[in-house]
Amino acid sequence: MGIAKQPSVVTLPAVPTPYPSIVEFLCRAFPGISPDQWAQRLREGKLLDDQGTPINADTPYAPSKRIFYFREVENEPVIPFAEQILFQDREILVADKPHFLPVTPGGRYVEECLLNRLRARTGLTDLAPLHRLDRETAGLVIFSVNPETRGAYHGLFRHGKVEKIYHALAEVNQPPRENQWTVENRIVRGEPRFRMKTVAGIVNARSHIQLLEVKHKRGLFRLQPLTGKTHQLRLHLSGLGFGIINDRVYPELQPERDDDFDRPLQLLAREIRFHDPVTGTDRGFRSERGLSW
């Protein structure tokens, strides 16, 4: 069983009275875990309050109260690819993530994620990612090392002051008349919830896309997201008629199956550039990974 070494936290929201029990709330918030499992964790003292005191079945529900717990997953999959550390100083760490490895714990993954691998490797327990990549996407992820300056770096991403360049491979059966596009539309959650969709309405997703080269009916694309919506590049490229090779979600949702490590999604977070708000220097990093070109 995979058991997280670092706790996760959930804050009890304001809800109408009568308040639910702690177990009732946890079952609603995390339906994948049974009431018996939560009750067992309570009996074993695995749920803690802000002071590190175990919560029990009689602990009353209190809005804004925080509960700390350690994620447990049976038969956690092993991702047989290694991450690389490209840069590290007192403020940030830049990692080069392999395909298939999640950035943070979630679902079936606890220790097999980039964050926990890096914490174990560096001893830096305060590491925190400043942005995300899909589990299926490879490439650059920047982590904050120093909690005191973390807000300054978060501000770069929040205000769109980080330039990110991706590369992707997609099928191109017929060379298009154009080789550059600016895609602007509105992206919202679809059904199932992990799959996004475009709808009419106020634009919230923008991307610049350029076709760099075509050979053997495959195109190499350069993608620059101007916003950061979930699955934005995958949806924008497929919307142009160029589905990314080995994409199991777009344009058509494929049946669920185990990962095929020989067929990674051909999407790479290739470059990232920004003006460092702490050191005052211009930063630029490039992934050392490649696609099946």
Q: How confident is the model at residue 182 (pLDDT cuts 50, 70, 90)?
A: very high
Give 125-180 as a DSSP string.
Answer: TT-EESS---TT-EEEEEEE--TTTHHHHHHHHHTT--EEEEEEEEE-SS--S-SE
pLDDT of residue 180: 97
Check the CA dihedral 157-159-160-161 and report its sign: negative
Q: Categorize the per-residue pLDDT at 2 as very low, low, confident or very high, splitting at 50, 70 and 90.
A: low
Q: What is the pLDDT of residues 200-256, one digit of tens each?
A: 999 999 999 999 999 999 999 999 999 999 999 999 999 999 999 999 999 999 998
Domains with residue ranges and CATH for the chain: 2-72 (3.10.290.10), 84-161 (3.30.2350.10), 165-267 (3.30.2350.10)
Structure tokens at 39: 């009750």
pLDDT score, position 228: 93
pTM for the predicted model, two decimal places: 0.83
Best CA proximity match to 221, nearest among 208, 205, 230: 208
187-199 pLDDT per residue, tens: 999 998 889 999 9
Q: Is the peptide bond before 251 cis (omega within 30 degrees of 0)?
A: yes
pLDDT per position as a tens digit, 156-175 = 999 999 999 999 999 998 88
CB 61 within 8 A of CB 14: no
CA distance 205 to 91: 30
